[in-house]
Amino acid sequence: MPEFAVSDDPEALARQYGHLVFKAAYRVLGDASLAEDVQQDVFLRLIESWPEAVKSWPAYLSAAAARAAIDVLRRQHRWWRLLPLWQMLAPTTTPSAEDAGLAREQAQRLRAAIARLPRREAQCFGLRYQQDLDIGEIAQLLAMTENNVNVSLHRARRRLEAQLGDAISETTP
Protein backbone atom coordinates (compact mmCIF):
# COMPACT_ATOMS: atom_id res chain seq x y z
CA MET A 1 0.00 0.00 0.00
CA PRO A 2 1.55 3.36 -0.99
CA GLU A 3 2.06 5.95 1.72
CA PHE A 4 0.34 8.75 -0.20
CA ALA A 5 -2.99 8.66 -1.95
CA VAL A 6 -2.84 8.71 -5.73
CA SER A 7 -5.68 11.22 -5.91
CA ASP A 8 -7.29 13.70 -3.60
CA ASP A 9 -10.64 11.94 -3.94
CA PRO A 10 -12.37 11.42 -0.56
CA GLU A 11 -13.75 8.05 -1.65
CA ALA A 12 -10.30 6.81 -2.67
CA LEU A 13 -8.84 8.11 0.59
CA ALA A 14 -11.58 6.34 2.57
CA ARG A 15 -10.88 3.04 0.80
CA GLN A 16 -7.12 3.40 1.18
CA TYR A 17 -6.90 4.77 4.74
CA GLY A 18 -10.22 3.81 6.32
CA HIS A 19 -8.64 1.02 8.36
CA LEU A 20 -5.95 3.42 9.59
CA VAL A 21 -8.56 5.93 10.76
CA PHE A 22 -10.54 3.16 12.45
CA LYS A 23 -7.44 1.86 14.29
CA ALA A 24 -6.48 5.35 15.48
CA ALA A 25 -9.99 5.94 16.85
CA TYR A 26 -10.18 2.46 18.38
CA ARG A 27 -6.89 2.98 20.25
CA VAL A 28 -8.39 6.01 21.96
CA LEU A 29 -11.93 4.72 22.48
CA GLY A 30 -11.55 0.96 22.87
CA ASP A 31 -15.00 0.49 21.33
CA ALA A 32 -15.49 -0.69 17.76
CA SER A 33 -18.88 0.94 17.19
CA LEU A 34 -17.66 4.31 18.47
CA ALA A 35 -14.51 3.98 16.36
CA GLU A 36 -16.67 3.35 13.28
CA ASP A 37 -18.66 6.49 14.07
CA VAL A 38 -15.45 8.48 14.35
CA GLN A 39 -14.19 6.98 11.09
CA GLN A 40 -17.33 8.11 9.31
CA ASP A 41 -17.17 11.55 10.93
CA VAL A 42 -13.54 12.08 9.85
CA PHE A 43 -14.33 11.40 6.21
CA LEU A 44 -17.52 13.49 6.30
CA ARG A 45 -15.54 16.41 7.70
CA LEU A 46 -12.97 15.86 4.97
CA ILE A 47 -15.69 16.15 2.32
CA GLU A 48 -17.17 19.26 3.96
CA SER A 49 -13.85 21.05 4.35
CA TRP A 50 -11.03 19.87 2.11
CA PRO A 51 -7.56 20.73 3.48
CA GLU A 52 -5.26 22.78 1.27
CA ALA A 53 -1.87 21.05 1.35
CA VAL A 54 -1.53 17.66 3.02
CA LYS A 55 1.96 16.21 2.90
CA SER A 56 1.02 12.89 4.47
CA TRP A 57 -2.54 11.60 4.37
CA PRO A 58 -1.87 8.81 6.89
CA ALA A 59 -0.54 11.31 9.45
CA TYR A 60 -3.31 13.82 8.76
CA LEU A 61 -6.11 11.26 8.97
CA SER A 62 -4.69 9.51 12.04
CA ALA A 63 -4.43 12.82 13.88
CA ALA A 64 -7.95 13.78 12.81
CA ALA A 65 -9.27 10.43 14.06
CA ALA A 66 -7.48 10.76 17.40
CA ARG A 67 -8.83 14.29 17.91
CA ALA A 68 -12.36 13.21 16.99
CA ALA A 69 -12.13 10.22 19.34
CA ILE A 70 -10.97 12.47 22.17
CA ASP A 71 -13.97 14.70 21.49
CA VAL A 72 -16.22 11.65 21.82
CA LEU A 73 -14.62 10.81 25.17
CA ARG A 74 -15.09 14.37 26.38
CA ARG A 75 -18.77 14.31 25.44
CA GLN A 76 -19.18 10.98 27.24
CA HIS A 77 -17.38 12.32 30.28
CA ARG A 78 -19.75 15.31 30.43
CA TRP A 79 -22.68 12.91 30.18
CA TRP A 80 -21.36 10.64 32.91
CA ARG A 81 -21.02 13.62 35.27
CA LEU A 82 -24.71 14.40 34.69
CA LEU A 83 -25.88 10.80 34.81
CA PRO A 84 -26.06 10.51 38.65
CA LEU A 85 -28.39 13.55 38.74
CA TRP A 86 -30.56 12.03 36.03
CA GLN A 87 -30.67 8.67 37.80
CA MET A 88 -31.86 10.36 41.00
CA LEU A 89 -34.82 11.74 39.08
CA ALA A 90 -35.56 8.51 37.22
CA PRO A 91 -37.53 5.75 38.88
CA THR A 92 -35.33 2.95 40.14
CA THR A 93 -35.58 -0.33 38.32
CA THR A 94 -34.10 -3.64 39.24
CA PRO A 95 -31.43 -4.76 36.77
CA SER A 96 -32.01 -8.07 35.09
CA ALA A 97 -30.10 -11.09 36.32
CA GLU A 98 -28.08 -11.04 33.12
CA ASP A 99 -27.15 -7.36 33.55
CA ALA A 100 -26.20 -7.93 37.18
CA GLY A 101 -24.08 -10.94 36.23
CA LEU A 102 -22.31 -9.01 33.49
CA ALA A 103 -21.64 -6.11 35.86
CA ARG A 104 -20.18 -8.49 38.47
CA GLU A 105 -18.01 -10.17 35.84
CA GLN A 106 -16.71 -6.82 34.57
CA ALA A 107 -15.99 -5.65 38.11
CA GLN A 108 -14.08 -8.87 38.85
CA ARG A 109 -12.01 -8.48 35.67
CA LEU A 110 -11.25 -4.87 36.53
CA ARG A 111 -10.21 -5.73 40.10
CA ALA A 112 -7.96 -8.53 38.84
CA ALA A 113 -6.40 -6.23 36.24
CA ILE A 114 -5.77 -3.51 38.84
CA ALA A 115 -4.15 -6.10 41.12
CA ARG A 116 -1.65 -6.90 38.34
CA LEU A 117 -0.58 -3.25 37.99
CA PRO A 118 2.67 -2.06 39.54
CA ARG A 119 2.03 -0.73 43.06
CA ARG A 120 2.47 2.98 42.29
CA GLU A 121 0.29 2.82 39.17
CA ALA A 122 -2.45 1.00 41.09
CA GLN A 123 -2.30 3.61 43.87
CA CYS A 124 -2.57 6.51 41.43
CA PHE A 125 -5.38 4.81 39.51
CA GLY A 126 -7.37 4.05 42.67
CA LEU A 127 -6.99 7.54 44.08
CA ARG A 128 -7.95 9.18 40.79
CA TYR A 129 -10.80 7.01 39.57
CA GLN A 130 -12.13 5.39 42.72
CA GLN A 131 -11.56 8.16 45.26
CA ASP A 132 -12.05 10.97 42.67
CA LEU A 133 -9.00 12.96 43.81
CA ASP A 134 -7.39 15.45 41.47
CA ILE A 135 -3.80 15.16 40.25
CA GLY A 136 -2.43 17.69 42.76
CA GLU A 137 -3.97 15.86 45.72
CA ILE A 138 -2.59 12.53 44.53
CA ALA A 139 0.88 14.03 44.07
CA GLN A 140 0.79 15.43 47.59
CA LEU A 141 -0.50 12.19 49.15
CA LEU A 142 2.07 9.98 47.41
CA ALA A 143 4.95 12.49 47.56
CA MET A 144 5.23 12.55 43.77
CA THR A 145 5.33 15.32 41.21
CA GLU A 146 2.15 15.98 39.24
CA ASN A 147 3.99 14.93 36.10
CA ASN A 148 4.88 11.56 37.67
CA VAL A 149 1.25 11.08 38.68
CA ASN A 150 0.11 11.79 35.12
CA VAL A 151 2.69 9.35 33.72
CA SER A 152 1.63 6.66 36.21
CA LEU A 153 -2.04 7.17 35.34
CA HIS A 154 -1.29 6.98 31.63
CA ARG A 155 0.66 3.75 32.07
CA ALA A 156 -2.03 2.28 34.29
CA ARG A 157 -4.76 3.07 31.78
CA ARG A 158 -2.72 1.58 28.92
CA ARG A 159 -2.03 -1.61 30.88
CA LEU A 160 -5.67 -1.93 31.90
CA GLU A 161 -6.85 -1.35 28.34
CA ALA A 162 -4.47 -4.03 27.12
CA GLN A 163 -5.52 -6.51 29.81
CA LEU A 164 -9.24 -5.85 29.61
CA GLY A 165 -9.19 -5.62 25.82
CA ASP A 166 -7.69 -9.11 25.66
CA ALA A 167 -10.31 -10.43 28.08
CA ILE A 168 -13.11 -8.90 26.02
CA SER A 169 -11.78 -10.29 22.74
CA GLU A 170 -11.44 -13.76 24.31
CA THR A 171 -15.11 -13.78 25.34
CA THR A 172 -16.38 -12.35 22.06
CA PRO A 173 -17.15 -14.97 19.38
Q: What is the CATH number of the domain that holds 104?
A: 1.10.10.10
Would you say the pTM of this structure is higher than 0.85?
A: no
Give pLDDT < 70 ranges for the chain. Answer: 1-8, 77-95, 166-173
Inside any domain, residue 3: no
Contact 72, 41 (CB under 8 A): no
Cα gap 84→82, rounded to integer Å: 6
Same domain, 50 and 81: yes
